[in-house]
Every structure is written in structure tokens, then in C-alpha cells.
Copies of this chain bind each other. A is one copy, B any other.
Amino acid sequence: MIKPRHPEIHCQTCQGRHLCITSGVDEAGKVILNELIKTIRFVSKKEIVMQANTPMQNLYAVYSGSCKEYWTDVNGNECVNNFFFPGDIIGIESIAGKKYMFSLSALEDTELCVIPMTGFLEAMYKNPSILKRFINISSLKMQNDQSARSGITALERVCDFLLNIISRTYERTPQIKEIVLPMSQVEISDFLGITYETVNRIFKTLKRKKIIKMKNKTLEVLDMAELENLKRG
């Protein structure tokens, strides 16, 4: 479902506005972007936003909710590449090939700002501050892709994942203490490349050691220092 986007409303209320494409852009650039990004696409929980290998029309920015980026291997296993939260830009890696590299689905009811690709390229040509912002976002994405799954053991990877989620949540909403994880343990395991039983057992261990508290999907970190330690082996 497509709805009109009112930049004067949406950007101001968006949790992720500091992370998003308009952040740090000059006034002229903001005008250009507001002309360009006119619609919001509403997707229900589990709805598929795009299929891998279909033509790429748009970048998306998460306004509310969350998504998972994934592909299905020849054995039918779902491989999750990334999770996206408000302020995150989706689809940059697909620009070169002009088709989506991955599929995307909503983890919960989600609103996505639609960024038409051709118009966005023109916006970058016209306005250096938009270009600069885009380059920074790309650069940060590369950093994040490297660090989110860098651990070797399953424990390290789970800790990596939690710390990554936590730091990204903190960037959006510094005051939040409890995080509601929108993805299942199966999806976490598909992201980390370990089995969901292992993920579950590691969560159990972390709970037993009072490093985290987790009830259903709600996560609270009790001992951040120890979580960082474990991440490092």
C-alpha cells in the first residue's frame, strides 16, 4: 500500500532521522529530497517488499518498523543478510546491477520511504551535500557489514549481533533500556550462520550468567562489559 509522505511531518517524527539520507544535508538539498521522496510504502508483517533479481526501481528508507534482507540458497535455506531499522537505507548494494540482489520482507508492520533511484542519482549530481551524505552512509554500511558478524565462535557471533543491535538502537533512541527484538531466534540463526538451537542455548547461557535479561522478545542488557568481553573471545 502506498501513502503520501509529508516530509514536514514524517522526517520530524522519524526515530531514525539522524541516520537517514536527509541528515546533515543543506537546505537546498532537503528541498530536492522532499520533492523526490513523495510516498511511503506500507507493508504488513511478513509481507515481501521485493524479490531478489527483480529490476531495481527504488532505494527504501525505514520510517517505522523493521525488515530483513535475505536470499534463498539452492537447498531452500534462508540466508539473512541484514536487519533494517528506522533510518536505515535499503538497497545500496543493488545499484550497480540495476536489480535487487536480495529479497526483503517486513518483520512487523512497517513503513518505508520510497526513494526513486533515477531521481536520487540526479539529486546527488545537483547537490554535493546529498552526495556527501550518501557516501557517508555507504561507508558506514560497509563498516557495519564487517563488524556485525565478525566473531568466530557461536558465542562471539551472538554477542556481536546483540551489541550491533544495541548500538544501532541506541543511535536512534538513546533513552531506551529495553529492546524488543522484532526477529525470531530462527532468523537470528539464519543471519549468524549457526543453528537456532545453538542461538537458543547461548541466550540461555547469557541469561543464566545474568549478562542479559530476556523475556519473549524483550531484551535488556545487565552487564554490557561482560557482553563486550565475550564478543572478543
Contacts and interface: CB of A to CB of B under 8 A. Distances in A.
Interface of A: 73-75, 77, 79, 81, 92-97, 101, 121, 124-125, 128, 131-132, 134-143, 145-146, 150-152, 193-194, 232-233
Contacts of A151: 193
Chain A interface main SS type: helix
Contacts of A138: 92, 95, 135, 138, 142
24 contacts: A73-B232, A73-B233, A74-B232, A75-B233, A92-B142, A93-B139, A95-B138, A96-B137, A96-B140, A96-B143, A97-B143, A101-B143, A101-B146, A121-B135, A124-B131, A124-B135, A125-B131, A135-B138, A138-B142, A141-B142, A142-B145, A150-B193, A151-B193, A152-B193
Given A81-B146, A95-B138, 20 more contacts: A74-B232, A75-B232, A75-B233, A79-B150, A93-B146, A96-B135, A96-B139, A96-B140, A97-B139, A101-B143, A124-B131, A124-B135, A125-B128, A125-B131, A131-B131, A134-B135, A135-B138, A141-B142, A145-B145, A152-B193
